[in-house]
Structure 1
Amino acid sequence: MKYFINSCLLLVCYLFASASCGTPKNNFSGSTNPIITGAERSDFYLPLLKDKKVGIVTNQTGIIRGSNDATVSIVDYLISNKIAVHKIFAPEHGFRGTADAGEHIVDGKDTKTGLPIISLYGNNKKPKPEQLVGIDVMVFDLQDVGVRFYTYISSLHYIMEACAENNIPLFVMDRPNPNGAIVDGPMLEKEYTSFVGMHPIPLLHGMTIGEYARMINGEKWLKNGVQCDLKVIHCLNYKRDMPYELPVKPSPNLPNAQAVNLYASLCLFEGTNVSVGRGTEKQFQIYGSPFLPKSDFSFTPIPNFGAKEPVYKDQLCYGEDLTQIEKVKQLELKWLINAYNSTSDKSKFFNDFFTKLAGTKKLQQQIESGVSENEIRKSWEKGLNDFKKLREKYLIY
């Protein structure tokens, strides 16, 4: 009953705020009616945070853009509006978004605000009860990219679970999905659940992070079926099929819109002996390895921002440059299949991480057996259709 009442109150507030929102605007979509992200709807949520001790899960993507195009961190924005921010919780890559993928992040203190930073990566993916003491409400503001193995939605799961178990309301500041309405790829099978795939969804889910939070809650995917006191601060003027280019890198190795668009397709290479360009300036826009045939395109990974020890450091890799191809509108398998078929030793192509990324053993088996891309896609159809029906009740836009 409490969950129902809170949802009704949120709806009333949402309708009021939609009618009279004087918050900062952006024009990331190029639309004549610019998209207003959840974080930019401050007229709506600031009164709800007043006189509360706030914990916030965010990083460099949690920004607000004003009418003069200046950006400010949501942490700084809340503090400037006299909201009592108590702690910052940082996901993979850290609060400032500078750590390598998978790098251990230690707890610390933000040098600008002096606020304590709690890492939500490594052995502390879920906040402990003692880390939540004194927090009245939690705010979640991270930019997702619409892909199952992008770990910000895994952090969302654990935050929701911790909030549910400790009776802390959660505000999710919604942001558009840069991969829009794409729903594609194999479904995750329960036995392959991991931090890079926690729920039975396809590889590309086609939802915003706010919609995804609603699905986690509604499907009772949290431990013991608990439900979080969830409030999604919706975007305004947003439709799922709108083009949306991110104003900042969502993580160190997704430097631009091309990388974000190709991420789902190329990240499967992380479960193989092929590099996706970490240690170059074209991360997730190229692929190659020393074991692929010599070609006109090659690269040599070296340590750089976001890749202190890249795969094949200082080794010449041959492969393909995808920086200029048109935007893909599905999960592309052709590059993965071509690389497997042309590698020098197929027995060394896949590693154990591939199954976690794919969420199933079937995809590797299909590729090794020479199943065509069309046939592989047909094997996904039932799972994708069932998922699309399931998600309908959680969609906002």
Structure 2
Amino acid sequence: MKNSNLFLVGLTLVTLFACGPNTAKNSDADNHGDTVSTAIVTGAEQFDRYLPLLEGKTAGMMGNQTSVVGDRHLVDVLLEKGVNLKFAFAPEHGFRGDIERGEKVSNEVDKRTGLPLHTLYGKNEKADSIVASVDVMIFDLQDVGARFYTYIASLHRVMQLCANQGKKLIVLDRPNPNGDQVDGPVRKDDRFKSNVSYHKIAMIHGLTVGELAQMINGEGWLDGGAKCDLEVIPVEHYDHSTPYSLPVIPSPSLPNQVSVRLYTSLCLFEATDFSVGRGTDWPFQVVGYPDPVFGSFTFTPGTREGMAEHVEQQGNLCYGLDLRQSNPDEQHFTLKYLLDFYNKSPFKDRFFSRPEFFDKLAGTDELRKQIIAGLDEEAIRASWAADLTAYKQMRKKYLLYPDFE
């Protein structure tokens, strides 16, 4: 997963659209027979359920800027409540979410709390001894529901470390903003395993991190089939059909709900030379290339404070598609954008400029080969239908919330 953003990098608690509180419909009715809306309560907000598990224990945490309770960082709240936190692990983008796509996350100290920080993005040979130094681990990251989003690889690593050291892991669950869909190819072949395709799940997996943690345990995906001592604090008043707008941006290039919903479809362009808006104010809301054949909308990727030094098509006038006004609730995973741009391309022989990376994003080399062969979306979907059906059956075993179907 790559990231750049512009004007939002470095902000810790950045609110998305002023969408109001997230609510779920309650089956109970009020005195007038109307449906009652109940606010979603994340796992992190349910102190009565997990603070007793931390009493008298030393703890470590995997978190970042999405680890919030209201408008406060969970770390600050836990320290205030007397939890004996010893360190924090940081995923891609760092503990405060201000590190660029794929860049090194260094071991350092959190300037706000003095808490030692350690990276789990990439190798950390000391990770086992770090986890061994505490009694319990806490995991609180906001995922976005796509297999190529690397926070779920971080979840797996924390589970493995806890299993290795015999430590309990408390997962503070959060809603999946793309949890109303299960779609795309299922990764089967370990040849395509990477940070962007870590698990044998559908590309759009339809799980919260708590549900995925149960799947990792239940399917024996940890080394040697080991089990993590896992406790999930589930979200209250949530189901998979509930629209959910993230209160804090999960990474610099997903600055609003439109980008979060379009990300599932546009991320495959990351293995091409097309721009998905990095270096503009609209990452994952526009797509284009320096050729008028791709559309009449134009934009020029540039530079913004805190962004990566180089982005795709930086300084070049790109022609393409403007998706900024899309209704986020109507966005679901589709291949139509990728297929349309491929079919319009006068350079099909080099359209997939990084084919190995594309195959890792897709979890298979079949999708790239099907596009080159000229298959349409219906035919491509038919080819993964059986695997997707089998995945959906497996997924049902681990659901903590009512499904969208």
TM-score, normalised by the number of residues in structure 2: 0.88
The CA distance in 1 between the partners of 2:100 and 2:386, in whole Å, is 36
Alignment of 1:133-282 (within 5 A): 133-190=132-189, 191-282=191-282
What secondary structure sits across from 1:162 in the alignment? helix
Contact 2:280 2:302 in 1 (8 A): yes
Amino acid at match of 2:351: F
The CA distance in 2 between the partners of 1:254 and 1:127, in whole Å, is 31
What secondary structure sits across from 1:185 in the alignment? strand
Contact 2:44 2:69 in 1 (8 A): yes
Q: CA deviation at 1:133?
A: 3.6
- In the other structure, the counterpart of 1:68 is none
The CA distance in 1 between the partners of 2:351 and 2:234, in whole Å, is 43
- In the other structure, the counterpart of 2:39 is 34
The CA distance in 1 between the partners of 2:222 and 2:21, in whole Å, is 36
Deviates more, 1:87-96 or 1:347-356: 347-356
Q: CA deviation at 1:378?
A: 1.0
- In the other structure, the counterpart of 2:96 is 96
Contact 2:294 2:345 in 1 (8 A): no
Amino acid at match of 1:261: R
- In the other structure, the counterpart of 1:372 is 376
Alignment of 1:65-76 (within 5 A): 65=70, 71-76=71-76
Q: Does 1:346 align with 2:348?
A: yes
Contact 1:292 1:344 in 2 (8 A): no
- In the other structure, the counterpart of 1:330 is 332
Contact 2:288 2:294 in 1 (8 A): no
What secondary structure sits across from 2:274 in the alignment? coil
Contact 1:273 1:348 in 2 (8 A): no
CA 1:55–1:346 in structure 2 vs 1: closer, same or farther (change >3 Å)?
Answer: same
The CA distance in 2 between the partners of 1:247 and 1:39, in whole Å, is 13
- In the other structure, the counterpart of 2:315 is 314
The CA distance in 1 between the partners of 2:292 and 2:107, in whole Å, is 41
Amino acid at match of 1:313: Q
Q: CA deviation at 1:354?
A: 0.5
- Structure of greater relative contact order (alpha carbons < 8 Å, 6+ residues apart): 2
Amino acid at match of 1:28: N
Q: Deviations over 1:301-344 (max 9, x none)?
A: 11224433211111111110111123345321111011111123
The CA distance in 1 between the partners of 2:213 and 2:126, in whole Å, is 17
Contact 1:54 1:85 in 2 (8 A): yes
The CA distance in 1 between the partners of 2:257 and 2:309, in whole Å, is 23
The CA distance in 2 between the partners of 1:306 and 1:396, in whole Å, is 37
Contact 2:302 2:314 in 1 (8 A): yes
Q: CA deviation at 1:289?
A: 1.2
Q: Deviations over 1:91-110 (max 9, x none)?
A: 00000101111011111001
Contact 2:207 2:399 in 1 (8 A): yes
The CA distance in 2 between the partners of 1:393 and 1:63, in whole Å, is 29
- In the other structure, the counterpart of 1:115 is 115
Amino acid at match of 1:199: H
The CA distance in 1 between the partners of 2:219 and 2:106, in whole Å, is 33
CA 1:214–1:372 in structure 2 vs 1: closer, same or farther (change >3 Å)?
Answer: same
Contact 1:54 1:139 in 2 (8 A): yes
Q: CA deviation at 1:294?
A: 5.9
- In the other structure, the counterpart of 2:105 is 105
Contact 2:262 2:332 in 1 (8 A): no
What secondary structure sits across from 2:23 in the alignment? coil
The CA distance in 2 between the partners of 1:240 and 1:130, in whole Å, is 37
- In the other structure, the counterpart of 2:393 is 389
Where does structure 1 lack aligned partners over 5 or more consecutive residues? 1-25, 66-70
How many residues are aligned here?
366
The CA distance in 2 between the partners of 1:293 and 1:120, in whole Å, is 42
Q: Does 1:289 align with 2:294?
A: no
The CA distance in 2 between the partners of 1:176 and 1:127, in whole Å, is 32
Contact 2:24 2:242 in 1 (8 A): no
The CA distance in 1 between the partners of 2:126 and 2:266, in whole Å, is 31
Q: Deviations over 1:12-60 (max 9, x none)?
A: xxxxxxxxxxxxxx93237521110000000111111111111000000
Q: Deviations over 1:245-286 (max 9, x none)?
A: 000100000000000001010000001121111111110111
Amino acid at match of 2:280: T
Q: Deviations over 1:175-234 (max 9, x none)?
A: 000012200001113221111111111100111110010000100101111110000001
The CA distance in 1 between the partners of 2:126 and 2:264, in whole Å, is 28
Amino-acid identity (%): 47
Choose the corresponding residue for 1:358, options 332, 356, 362. 362
Amino acid at match of 2:346: S
TM-score, normalised by the number of residues in structure 1: 0.89
The CA distance in 1 between the partners of 2:253 and 2:93, in whole Å, is 10
Deviates more, 1:229-238 or 1:26-35: 26-35
Amino acid at match of 1:308: E
Amino acid at match of 2:359: T
